Amino acid sequence: MVLNSEEGSPQIGLTEVIGDYQSFVSDTLKSAIYAGIDLRDYPIDHLCFRTQTVEDYQRTKPLIQNFSKGILENLHHGRPVTKFLLSQPIIIGEYEIPVIEMPVPRPGQVIQTGLEHLEMVVGDDYEIIKERYNGLWSGADDSGEFNQPMFITFENGHSIKFHKLPISEVIRLEGNSFQEVK
């Protein structure tokens, strides 16, 4: 726990809000490499943090917002999804992760609160990767006109998604933008 010296009150760190993201990213990348996926130098675009209930979502949103300089909440498949542009990107090895997304759980969906997946931008290699690892894919998402990620879910429940464009570019193409956090 970090002490907020100005107010003299305890202030929690990002790890206490979303969990051990360092281990999550490391374990997920190791699972991908073990599965034979060449990760090259593809950037990690964002992490997805899931909440078990709408109430958990509402409680967690301002906590992550404390670490953010921008926020965007919009509808995706009929439910709110918040994207947080972090004040300081998460740094893990050579990766700088600028965004955390947090969707409201789908009605009837039973999930655990915690980090679920990371997304990597593969740009023009998208079709090559799609074909090369055809037998590994757990599925593909319809995330709108500009984002159609393929994903693999590993035995530990972690997933990695691959898509063409960075989430910030998808947001811009959809006519949205992060709102400044004050």
Residue 80, helix vs strand vs coil: strand
Place of tokens 């655990």: 112
Residue 27, helix vs strand vs coil: helix
**Residue of 170 and 77 predicted with greater confidence:** 170
Q: Residue 3: what pLDDT?
A: 33
Rg (CA), the chain: 16
The pair of structure tokens assigned to 163 is: 């898509």
For residues 55 and 176, give the distance between their C-alpha atoms in angstroms, rounded to a whole number. 25
Asked whether the beta carbons of 102 and 57 are under 8 A apart, the reply is yes
Mind listing the pLDDT tens digit for each residue in 3-46? 333 444 456 899 999 999 999 999 999 999 999 999 988 999 99
* pTM beyond 0.85: yes
Asked whether the beta carbons of 107 and 128 are under 8 A apart, the reply is no
Compute the average pLDDT of residues 127-147.
89
Residue 149: pLDDT over 80: yes
Most confident of the following: 88-92, 140-144, 145-149: 88-92
Please list, residue by residue across 31-40, b when 16 or more beta carbons sit within 10 angstroms of its beta carbon and e when fewer do. bbeeeebeee
For residues 51 and 62, give the distance between their C-alpha atoms in angstroms, rounded to a whole number. 13
- Kindly state the percentage of the chain with pLDDT values over 90: 79
Which domains occur in the chain, in start order? 42-176 (3.10.180.10)
